[in-house]
Structure 1
Amino acid sequence: MAAIDDVAKSDSAQPTLAELTSVFARIGCLSFGGPAAQIAMMHRAVVEEKRWLSEERFLHALNYCMLLPGPEAQQLATYIGWLTHGTRGGVISGLLFILPGLVVITILSAAYALWQETTWLAGLFFGLKAAVLAIVVEAVIRLSKKTLKSGFLCLVAATAFVALFIFSVPFPVVVLAAASAGFLNARRTGVTTAPTDLTDLHAPPSPGRAIMSLIGWIIVWQLPLLILWAFSAPDGLTSLFSFFSKMALVTFGGAYAVLAYVAQVGVEQYGWLKPGEMLDGLALAETTPGPLVLVLSFVGFLTGFREASGVVGGVLGALLVAWATFVPSFIFIFAGAPYIERLRGNRILSGALSAITAAIVGVILNLAIWFGLHVLFREVGKVELVPSLGLELALPVWASLDPVAAVLFVLSAVLLFRMKLGMMPVLGICAAAGLAVRLAALM
Structure 2
Amino acid sequence: MLEIRRLSTTQPDFREQLDRLTAWESGAEHRVEQAVAEILEQVRSRGDAALLEYSRRFDRLEVASVAELEVPAEALRAAFEELPGEQRVALEEAARRVRAYHARQKSESWEYQEADGTVLGQQVTALDRVGIYVPGGKAAYPSSVLMNAIPAKVAGVPELIMMVPAPDGELNPMVLAAAHLAGVDRVFRLGGAQAVAALAYGSETVPAVDKITGPGNAYVAEAKRQVFGRVGIDMVAGPSEILVVCDGQTDPDWIAMDLFSQAEHDQDAKAWLVCPDPYYLDQVQASMERLLPQMERSEIIRESLNRHGALICVRDLAEAEEVANRIAPEHLELSIAEPEKFAQRVRHAGAIFLGRYTPEALGDYCAGPNHVLPTSATARFASPLGVYDFQKRTSIIHCSPAGGAALGRVADVLARGEGLEAHARSARLRVEAEERS
TM-score grouping bracket, smaller chain normalisation: under 0.3
Q: TM-score, normalised by structure 1?
A: 0.23
The answer to which structure has the higher helix fraction is 1
TM score, norm. by length of structure 2: 0.23
Larger radius of gyration between Structure 1 and Structure 2: 2
